[in-house]
Amino acid sequence: MKQRKSFGYYFLRNKNGMIGLIGVALIVILGVIAPFLVAYPEGYTADILLAPSLSHPLGTDKLGLDILAEVIWGARTSLYVSLTAVVISALIGIPAGLISGFVKGWLGEIIDACIDIFLTLPMLPLMIIMAAIMGTSINNVALVIGLFSWPQLARVTKNATLKISEMQYIEAATCLGLSKPRILFKHVLLNATGPVFVNLTLIMASAVLSEASLSFLGLGDPTTWSWGTILKRAWTSNAVISSPNPWWWWLIPSLCIVIFVVCFNMLGTAINDILNPKGRD
Amino acid sequence: MSKEPILKVSHLNKFFKVKKRKLIEEKKYVHAVEDVSFELYEGETLGIVGESGSGKSTLARTILGLIPSSGGTVEYKGQNITDFKVSNSKMLRSELQMIFQDPYASLNPKMKVGSAIAEPMLINGQAKNKEEARQKVKELLQMIGLQPEVYDRYPHEFSGGQRQRIGIARALAVNPKILFCDESVSALDVSVQAQILNLFNDLKEKLHLTYVFIGHDLAVIRYISDRIMVMYLGKVMEIAPYDEIFDENTHPYTQSLISAILEPTTEPNAERIILEGDIPSPVNPPKGCRFCQRCFKAQPKCFEEEPELIPVSADHQIRCHFAKVGENK
């Protein structure tokens, strides 16, 4: 009988997964060890709008601050905000989806209606209003993003639950005397991991985008660096349209956002493929 | 065979509501199981046979409380357990288990075989800790003819017959007294069917099990059963001991099922009874005898009046106007 191979074995052989993992790991490491790497960029210096060079690998902005330092500190904020947002939306979205898909009757109907209402709400204007009311701190930004990204997760979880709860092994579990919560949060959730995981990484990616949008609109935390904040400063200084163009100022944070989103999507897809035992070989 | 029934089903009904299509429309029901009564004795195998849509699986699910009943009672060892709304339902649940039809759908694809079998053990208290459960699962796997090494494998790595064995092991994990086998071999190859049927017979002797064996193939049912119950359109048509089911004095529907069994012969079977048409809609079951529209013996009386279950001998009942009472003995 052949030896059962581990999750790691299959993961190491998944090219997209490895690229995604390396990208995500780099961003995480950058974010975590940022304080040991570069000084926090604050104040101003005389090196205004320098193009990338040896002393400033990614150039400087209009205040003479190093873009590399800003981007590295920004990674920290972006990671923190998107992780918090994902945890909040997972805590609301997954149980809501499971229950509305599994429980028939008024409880499921009410949750279902809530999901529908939240899905139809225009997200960005509400985020702006809420961020404006609650004040600008990164915790509030994370909370707002989390509170508005759970409905799509709930919907995906619900669809998966509806399909899975009709399967014979769920009936078998009932017959074997397993309790309803156990069936729901173990057997159903275990089989819904694929779509849920992919959706979580998508939320992670879109949280970074939302955070950038909010910061760009001036509703982020002005005292911390995030990729959106850098973009906002570049925008308000007319960096995008001025000539000669300080392209490094706006291009680098934008690229960071793109890389972050792509890496998380690739990682999510790879995990989905590997968690499904049939899709391994 | 003791005379005290281990399981007694009395006048069990299961109706499913039909969704209304128009605004004003009287409520309609699918009569899936109607007025089914039977007794099951310890150590026997009761075969339930009937074509698709006759309510066999629904009957089993209703008895096991997987779907709520619409009337009637189920008694287990003298205690009313209808819909399992009783205080000791957890203990009772583990005594009545089911083996499902589709070995591909009845195992959780994301759970390792070993932990799938161990889980109900730990929850119902057949094993106290994980070590004990692991040990017991390995013993079980050996008993049903699989290597203990399969503990850490996933269901998709097994063939249909092996999966069905795993399904059996999972049901046996909670020490059941009665096993409901819902078409448990009909999804398998004929050669594998025989293996699994033999396994059922072995287990019955080893573990003193009582079986309710559901199937549409009378050849399979007669191989394993002590008594056979024939269902048609949600109703019991006949309950007969094994050796009386092939007699002359049986229900016309049973006769047609028997004549559908393939025999290893090249001679033409002149007397083969071939039923015409399909099973009627269970939403509007025919007035009179359920089987009247397709019966080769049908008389005007059959279309008007529904026959009762007529006892023709001690253990033999037939729902037919033409059953001859007392001729079998």
Give the domain range for residue A230.
72-162+191-276
Average pLDDT, chain B: 86
CA-closest candidate to residue B203, choices B241, B229, B165: B165
CA-closest candidate to residue A95, choices A106, A75, A111: A111
pLDDT at A280: 60
Whether residue A196 contacts residue A48, with contact meaning beta carbons closer than 8 Å, is answered with no
pTM of the complete model: 0.80
Q: Is B124 on the interface with A (CB under 8 A)?
A: yes
**A174 to chain B, closest Cα gap in Å:** 7
Whether residue B163 contacts residue B155, with contact meaning beta carbons closer than 8 Å, is answered with yes
* Residue B327 pLDDT exceeds 70: no
Average pLDDT, chain A: 84
Q: Give tens-digit pLDDT for A28-84.
A: 888 888 777 777 777 777 777 777 777 777 777 777 788 888 888 888 888 888 899
In a domain, A66, yes or no: no
pLDDT at B280: 82
Confidence bin at A278 (pLDDT 50/70/90): low
C-alpha–C-alpha distance, residues B122 and B133, integer Å: 7
Contacts of A193 in chain B (CB under 8 A): 110
CA-closest candidate to residue B46, choices B81, B11, B6, B15: B6
* Residue A277 pLDDT exceeds 70: no
Residue tagged 């800790």 (tokens)? B129
CATH number at residue A235: 1.10.3720.10
pLDDT at A5: 65
Confidence bin at B181 (pLDDT 50/70/90): very high
Confidence bin at A1 (pLDDT 50/70/90): very low
Q: Give tens-digit pLDDT for A167-208.
A: 889 989 988 888 889 999 999 998 888 888 888 888 888 888
CA-closest candidate to residue B215, choices B224, B207, B226: B224
**A11 to chain B, closest Cα gap in Å:** 17
Q: Which of A168, A182, A191 sits opposite B110 (nearest CB)?
A: A191
Q: Give tens-digit pLDDT for A27-43.
A: 888 888 877 777 777 77
* Residue B2 pLDDT exceeds 60: no
H/E stretch holding A15: helix A15-37
pLDDT at B117: 92
Q: Is the confidence metric ipTM above 0.90 for this complex? A: no
CA atoms within 13 A on the CB side of A174: 18
* Residue B329 pLDDT exceeds 60: no
In a domain, A241, yes or no: yes
C-alpha–C-alpha distance, residues B31 and B283, integer Å: 6
Residue tagged 């008594």 (tokens)? B227
C-alpha–C-alpha distance, residues B177 and B154, integer Å: 28
Residue of A nearest to B63 (CA): A175
Q: Average pLDDT for residues B76-91, to the nearest whole number?
A: 80
CB neighbour list of residue A47: distance below 8 Å, 6 or more residues apart: A56, A60, A64
C-alpha–C-alpha distance, residues A33 and A27, integer Å: 10
CB neighbour list of residue B243: distance below 8 Å, 6 or more residues apart: none
Q: Do B100 and A190 touch (CB under 8 A)?
A: no
| Gyration radius of chain A over CA positions | 22
* Residue B1 pLDDT exceeds 60: no
DSSP B297: T
In a domain, A106, yes or no: yes
* Residue B328 pLDDT exceeds 70: no
In a domain, A78, yes or no: yes
Q: Give tens-digit pLDDT for A247-275.
A: 888 888 888 889 888 888 888 888 777 77
- Greater confidence (B59 vs A13) lies with B59
* Residue B211 pLDDT exceeds 60: yes
Confidence bin at B214 (pLDDT 50/70/90): very high
In a domain, A151, yes or no: yes
CB neighbour list of residue A81: distance below 8 Å, 6 or more residues apart: A138, A141, A142, A145, A207, A208, A211, A226
What is the count of structural domains for chain A? 1
Q: Average pLDDT for residues A127-156, to the nearest whole number?
A: 86
C-alpha–C-alpha distance, residues B104 and B98, integer Å: 15
In a domain, A261, yes or no: yes
Whether residue A58 contacts residue A246, with contact meaning beta carbons closer than 8 Å, is answered with no
In a domain, A9, yes or no: no
Q: Is B118 strand, coil or helix?
A: helix
Q: Do B109 and A277 touch (CB under 8 A)?
A: yes
Q: Give tens-digit pLDDT for A119-130.
A: 888 888 888 888
Number of CB pairs < 8 Å for A and B? 71
Q: Is B110 on the interface with A (CB under 8 A)?
A: yes
Q: Is B141 strand, coil or helix?
A: helix
Confidence bin at B156 (pLDDT 50/70/90): confident
Q: Which of B64, B105, B147 sits opposite A175 (nearest CB)?
A: B64
Contacts of A179 in chain B (CB under 8 A): 123
Q: Give tens-digit pLDDT for B257-286.
A: 888 887 777 777 667 777 877 778 888 888
* Residue A118 pLDDT exceeds 50: yes
In a domain, A125, yes or no: yes
Percent of chain B with pLDDT over 70: 97
Confidence bin at A3 (pLDDT 50/70/90): low
